Amino acid sequence: MVLLRPLVLLLALVVSDLHCLPWFINVSESQGPGTILQSFSFNCSSHTPTLELLHVQPPTTFFNPPSLTRWQGIYVGKMTLSSSARLDALTVNHYELQLRFTCGNHVMEGPLSVDVQRDPGRIQCAGRFASPAGEIIQVPETVTPGTRLYTLLLPGQGAQMSITSAQDPPYFPGPFSINGQGWLQAPSQGLKGQAQKVFQLQILVTFGQGRSCCGMLTVKVLPAPSSQVSFLQQAQNITIPENLVPGSKVVQVQARGFNVRYEILSPVPCRLFSIGRVDGVVRTTSPLELAQAPDAAVTRLRVKAFERLRPWASAELDFRVDVQSVNRWPPRCTPALLVTQIPETTPVGTVLNTFTCTDPDSPGSTLDYQLLFHSPAGTASLCLQDRVLEVNATLDCDTPGACFHHAASILVLDSGQPLMTTEVPVLVMVTPVNEFSPACVPRTFRVREDAGPHALLGSVVGKDMDYPHDSIEYSTPGGSATFAVDRLSGEVRLLGPLDYELQKLHRLTVLLTDHSQDQDPTCHRSGSCTITIEVEDVNDHAPECEPPFQELTIHTHLGRSMEVTRVSCQVPQEPQRLAFSYSIVGGNSRSQFSLQGAVLVHNDLMLGPSWPEQPHTYELLIRVADAGPSTPHLSTTATVIVHLVPWRASTVATSTHRATVISMMTPLLVTDMEAFWQPEPWFVVVLTVTSALLLLALGWLLSRLLRGLAQVLQAPSKSTQALLLNSIQGTEGSVERFMEAPRMETPQAPSSVMSLHFDGRAQDPRTGRDYLFNTHTGARRWL
């Protein structure tokens, strides 16, 4: 791919207009030297421009200095890859190039960002094997057949390898082989008799879809050693303490031979020990803590000694290193600190935590656990069963001071020498639980029906077994218009009027809700009870008589008593009240009438000349009062008009005529309709504006009329004007001396010539009008 993307940004520099704009390009890692990365055009007509590469981040020599050529009056610049360019997206995937373009006195700098993209089709072999010289290995002729001689570093997964060079006798003892893991193995016949021979193997690595790479591997066969290398000491077991610091000496091995070197053959890699290549001293390379590395307790080492110039001349030594435990660390526990909270309703036997402790010095050893109480001392609420902390007794927060914070500690002891201990702090907080619902005892309150607002009827006393016991709020479900319950005290008060006649008994449900009795502030319990309120009757309705007014005509008989009428009264609001007292309080001037209960009786027992012979009218007032036990006693008055006609011998017996006037008050609805006019809002606005304009016009006209009238009244005669002009000409120089003279207008013309003499002229500063004035009299004449 010569150019990843074409020119997308044309920078036109016309000397007077320079702009710095960034460029961004993508390039594949498979691009080689000479690849054009970016080209751009410049317009510089008056000078010879230059294009420079200032610097590259990160620094590299993969980019050539930019070229700048002239073509048809336009300068074309190009950025290319240098001959040393080897792009690798895995190594560096972004380069920042800073370019500078100069055209006369105008300079522009801008960045060029180069992003290296990964090329999935590009796979390379790694290591010296893929270099032009190839890889060279040396093997003794005594190597075991099939032994791994070399391992190829594969660039990816799923690669297939094969040896493409000829492997035929007599040059080869047998074919070398390579497996899927990249292992080059010795021929199955071995390499005996092939000393000093060199075998060149061309190896091809294929990755599928035609992608492959190749390399050269040269195998040099060395002759068998002529002398033996042997260790001076035999196999032995070495015991060391685990507290040796890294670099401590474990043992030194020595071998007989010429220029002997040492190395560890097993285990490989060896992370705990190392051996000096020259002196053969075995040292520790990392801490030997058995707790962190239990496999460090026993290590079997195989050490090889060989001559430096003849590596095939070697000997091996096996020995064992035992690491002994040292009691240096106290037990370590999980958790190292226990802070927990449990509700007071936690049942006995509930597991709070299980402690896991280990001895870093001796993993798997038995540890001893003890529970120590701190506060409250000697409490039996907790217990420790082996490593398990449990609840041992019932927890209760419903009495003052019973809800504790239990502070304790777990003491853990190991079995080493010296004895090491660890103490795990424990804090168990018992939280309250709202277990019980509040309750109250039903009560009965009595109240007079004439009790006033906010009258106290009584109090509801709630009880709650949870602590604190007085955390109760009172309310009435749905609300009540007649009664109210205080939210905190439970006092029941009267809100509205009572009426015994309408309702004698009220039942009020009071809801009790507790609070602040649980760890969760939103957890509430509620209860209720019914309060009975009995209304005591109060006599608050006067009796009413039907009819309240009667008019009767009776004919009396001498010496006889007769019933006139019966007064019928009742209390409509209390129809059950029937006990009334009756008395005549007015109109019974001759005591001819009496009451027998509710019956009005006329007593005609009078004899002699005082007996009336003419009809007579009596207007009786009868007071009717309730006579029950209720207080106060209320009364009403009924009016009875009796027309009394005396008996005569010639009078024909007639029946009593009773005229009853029933006063019935019938409501009369009077509808009074008043007509008015309500104009629209726009009409009101138009009317207001028109009125204002009319008033302004009238004012202006009136001011014009007044001004004209004043001018007519102030105009002097022609002779007087001539005299005034002569006087003005003689006194023009003295005008300014009398500017501050008092202003005074003369309403009437003077009677003499001297009085008409004005010796000064001035201009009114307020109106701007000129006027004449007399310096002696102060008279003024407007012009």
Domains in the chain with CATH codes: 24-117 (2.60.40.60), 128-222 (2.60.40.60), 230-324 (2.60.40.60), 332-428 (2.60.40.60), 439-536 (2.60.40.60), 544-646 (2.60.40.60)
189: three-class secondary structure by DSSP? coil
Tell me: the pLDDT tens digits for 192-228? Answer: 888 888 898 888 888 766 677 788 889 998 877 656 7
pLDDT exceeds 60 at position 659? no
pLDDT exceeds 90 at position 591? no
Is residue 778 within 8 Å of residue 738, measured between CB atoms? no
Is residue 383 within 8 Å of residue 393, measured between CB atoms? no
Lowest mean pLDDT among 156-170, 355-369, 483-497, 554-568: 156-170
Average pLDDT (495-507) is: 86
- Residue ranges of the alpha helices (H) in 484-568? none
Residue in the structure block whose two tokens are 């490593």? 387
CA 604 – CA 644 distance, rounded (Å) = 11
Rg (CA), the chain: 66
CA 272 – CA 284 distance, rounded (Å) = 6
Cα torsion 175, 179, 181, 184 to 10°: value is -10
Tokens for 325? 């435990």
Cβ-in-10-Å burial (0-12, 13-18, 19+) of 285 comes to middle
Q: Phi, psi at residue 28, to the nearest 5°?
A: -80, 145
Cα–Cα distances in angstroms (integers) from residue 400 to residues 341, 436, 467, in the given order:
19, 16, 7
Amino acid identity at 596? Q
Lowest mean pLDDT among 148-152, 158-162, 417-421: 158-162
Is residue 723 within 8 Å of residue 745, measured between CB atoms? no
pTM score above 0.75: no
DSSP 404-423: -EEEEEEEEE-SSSS--EEE
CA 84 – CA 33 distance, rounded (Å) = 7
Is residue 552 within 8 Å of residue 564, measured between CB atoms? yes
Which distant-in-sequence residues (6+ apart) come within 8 Å of 53 by Cβ? 63, 65, 66, 79, 97, 98, 99
Q: Which residue has the higher pLDDT, 451 or 501?
A: 451
pLDDT exceeds 60 at position 422? yes
Q: CA nearest 443: which of 525, 506, 504, 499?
A: 506
Tell me: the pLDDT tens digits for 698-735? Answer: 999 999 998 888 877 765 444 444 443 444 444 444 43
> What pLDDT is stored for residue 210 in this prediction?
66
How far does Cα 652 stand from its chain's mean position?
108
Tokens for 530? 């019914």
CA 412 – CA 423 distance, rounded (Å) = 6
Other beta carbons less than 10 A from residue 282's beta carbon: 22
Q: How confident is the model at residue 14 (pLDDT cuts 50, 70, 90)?
A: very low
> What pLDDT is stored for residue 208 in this prediction?
67
Tell me: the pLDDT tens digits for 528-542? Answer: 999 999 988 777 678
Cis peptide before 335 (omega within 30 of 0): yes
Cα–Cα distances in angstroms (integers) from residue 744 to residues 47, 720, 763, in the given order:
92, 19, 14
Residue in the structure block whose two tokens are 């702009």? 19
- What b/e sequence results for 423-442 when a residue is b if at least 16 CB atoms lie within 10 Å of its CB, and e otherwise? ebebbbebbbbbbbbbebee
Residue in the structure block whose two tokens are 């993508």? 26
Is residue 369 within 8 Å of residue 384, measured between CB atoms? yes
Q: Phi, psi at residue 420, to the nearest 5°?
A: -115, 140
Is residue 643 within 8 Å of residue 552, measured between CB atoms? yes
CA 110 – CA 401 distance, rounded (Å) = 79
Is residue 301 within 8 Å of residue 282, measured between CB atoms? yes
Q: How confident is the model at residue 756 (pLDDT cuts 50, 70, 90)?
A: low
Lowest mean pLDDT among 18-22, 164-168, 605-609, 755-759: 18-22
Other beta carbons less than 10 A from residue 473's beta carbon: 18
Mean pLDDT of the chain: 79
CA 270 – CA 455 distance, rounded (Å) = 96
pLDDT exceeds 90 at position 690? yes
Q: How confident is the model at residue 749 (pLDDT cuts 50, 70, 90)?
A: very low
> What pLDDT is stored for residue 715 in this prediction?
54
> What pLDDT is stored for residue 279 in this prediction?
92
Tokens for 408? 């304790």
> What pLDDT is stored for residue 124 in this prediction?
65
Percentages helix, strand, coil for the chain (3-state, rounded to 5) are 10, 40, 50
Is residue 253 within 8 Å of residue 231, measured between CB atoms? yes
Average pLDDT (728-754) is: 39
The maximal CA–CA distance of the chain, rounded, in angstroms, is 194
Which distant-in-sequence residues (6+ apart) come within 8 Å of 688 by Cβ? none
Which distant-in-sequence residues (6+ apart) come within 8 Å of 12 by Cβ? 41, 42, 43
> What pLDDT is stored for residue 648 in this prediction?
58
Say how many CA atoms lie within 13 Å of 263 toward its Cβ. 9
Other beta carbons less than 10 A from residue 772's beta carbon: 22
CA 99 – CA 102 distance, rounded (Å) = 10
The CA angle 755-757-761, to the nearest 5 degrees, is: 130
> What pLDDT is stored for residue 302 in this prediction?
92
Tell me: the pLDDT tens digits for 105-134? Answer: 888 888 999 999 877 666 666 667 777 778
What percent of the chain clears pLDDT 90, i.e. is strictly above it?
18
